[in-house]
Amino acid sequence: MNNSNKNIDINLSNGELSALIGDIYDAPLSGGWADVLDKIIDITQSNKAFFVLQKLKEDKPLLLEFQTTFDHCPNILKDYNARFKEDPFYKVTKISTEGEALNLCDYIDLAQLKSSQYYQDLFVPMKSYHCLAGILIRDGEYDSAYAINRGEDDKPYSPQDFNLFKLLTPHMSRAANTFKILKLYKNYGNISKSILDQSDKAIVVCDENAKIILSNSFANSKVEKVEQVSFLDNKLRLSNAVYNRQLSQYIKHCASLSFNQINSQETIIIDDFVDAENILITVSPLNNRNEMNDIDIPCCMVTISFQQILNWSLVAREFRLTDKELQLLKAIYSMKKLNDLTESFGVTYNTLRTHLQAIFKKTLVNSQTELMMKLNMFKN
């Protein structure tokens, strides 16, 4: 069915799509990732789906959900984990940027790989052949992705299947980021305690008038040191009038959704080259339908991330980058997708991938994840 609201051809009704997106946004708090994957499997007629969120400095993932429609040997997953860098699908996605959705069979001819030991050891028992993958987080500190599969005897994914997958990817990305922010929630009995114990980001809960209901210690200490954000008369304010009006509108909008099954996320980026720091502000409803939410009035969660600006001139000199390569690198570091950069760069998607591979070679990295980690070393 054609989804007229999105003007995208997908095999799903508006009501079914809305319900699925609602489940995706509920998953970070309810823990219902398996249910989300099962629904995606059912809707796309896939044989399996997985979702992973990894903190790069830790050995075990923060979250790994793996759902299949068939029985499989648990040792297969252990074997894959030990050999994932051999995976031809991984070799495609390792160069992909955050927010990208890919039909991996557009890049790989698996028919030519059937005789390989890796294919026989892993692809055959796991019934992997057709694959759609989405990169959800890739910021040099965390990595997250999800994927669905069909077997060799199944029909390839249709354009409608891929359209749906691309449509779900930004929602999965926002849900993964929400889970990352509230990753401690399972250790607590309510949302308030979880938010207060976050130590690496400023988190503020506001009512529809921007009145502060709750703020963590990081927010309280950081706001005292910056001019752009303030707690004035117990309200969250931005010093720039234009940004402040925008923030007020986002807060009112998201707070109004907190008692509904509707989810949203709004973003404001404040560039401050004087203090060598960017400020990223995201606003989203704090869903009051969830039993863990002990705040019983319409409200929203405002996350404030203070991001140091990279010393780009040093990066260019260190790796002898061309002006075009530096421009591409800046765009990627700002979480721009290659698909969205083709017009501004005036080249094809494949040409951008070629440029990115040249950057990999100059910076001595093998993946997008390694590239982001290396760039973070050049913060002012």
The domain 312-378 is classified under which CATH number: 3.90.1150, 2.60.40, 1.20.120, 1.10.10?
1.10.10
- Write down the domain spans for the chain: 2-181, 185-308, 312-378
Each residue's pLDDT tens digit, 214-232: 888 888 888 878 888 999 8
Q: Locate 151 and state its tokens.
A: 């077997």
E strand map for the chain:
2-3, 8-9, 48-55, 63-68, 101-103, 130-138, 142-150, 202-207, 212-215, 229-232, 235-238, 266-272, 277-285, 299-308
Lowest mean pLDDT among 10-14, 184-188, 279-283, 291-295: 184-188
Each residue's pLDDT tens digit, 288-306: 555 555 666 788 888 888 7
Per-residue confidence (pLDDT) for residue 182, from 0 to 100? 66
Write out the DSSP string of 279-312.
EEEEEEE--TTSTT----SSEEEEEEEEEEPB-H
Q: Locate 353 and state its tokens.
A: 């991938």
Q: Judge whether residue 373 has pLDDT over 60.
A: yes
Q: Judge whether residue 32 has pLDDT over 80.
A: yes
Asked if residue 324 lies in contact with residue 346, where contact means CB atoms within 8 angstroms, the answer is no
In angstroms, the CA 282 to CA 181 distance is 12
Mean pLDDT within 12-17: 83
Per-residue confidence (pLDDT) for residue 6, from 0 to 100? 46
Of the two residues 240 and 194, the one the predictor is more confident about is: 240
Average pLDDT, the chain: 84
In angstroms, the CA 328 to CA 331 distance is 5
In angstroms, the CA 276 to CA 355 distance is 28
Per-residue confidence (pLDDT) for residue 214, from 0 to 100? 86
Percentage with pLDDT > 70 across the chain = 86
Length of the chain: 380
Superfamily of chain region 2-181: Transcription factor LuxR-like, autoinducer-binding domain (3.30.450.80)
> Which residues have CB under 8 Å from 22's CB, separation 6+?
261, 262, 263
Per-residue confidence (pLDDT) for residue 320, from 0 to 100? 94
Asked if residue 102 lies in contact with residue 133, where contact means CB atoms within 8 angstroms, the answer is yes
Per-residue confidence (pLDDT) for residue 324, from 0 to 100? 92
Q: Judge whether residue 20 has pLDDT over 60.
A: yes
What is the pTM (predicted TM-score) of this model? 0.71
Q: How confident is the model at residue 148 (pLDDT cuts 50, 70, 90)?
A: very high
CATH topology identical between 2-181 and 185-308:
yes
Q: Locate 146 and state its tokens.
A: 């999800």
Per-residue confidence (pLDDT) for residue 76, from 0 to 100? 83
Each residue's pLDDT tens digit, 232-287: 889 999 998 999 999 999 998 888 876 554 455 677 878 654 445 678 888 887 76
Backbone phi, then psi, for 143, in 5-degree steps? -135, 135
Torsion of CA 77, 78, 83, 89, to 10 degrees: 20
CATH class of the domain defined by 185-308? alpha beta
Tell me 113's DSSP state.
Answer: G
- β-partners of residue 284 are 301
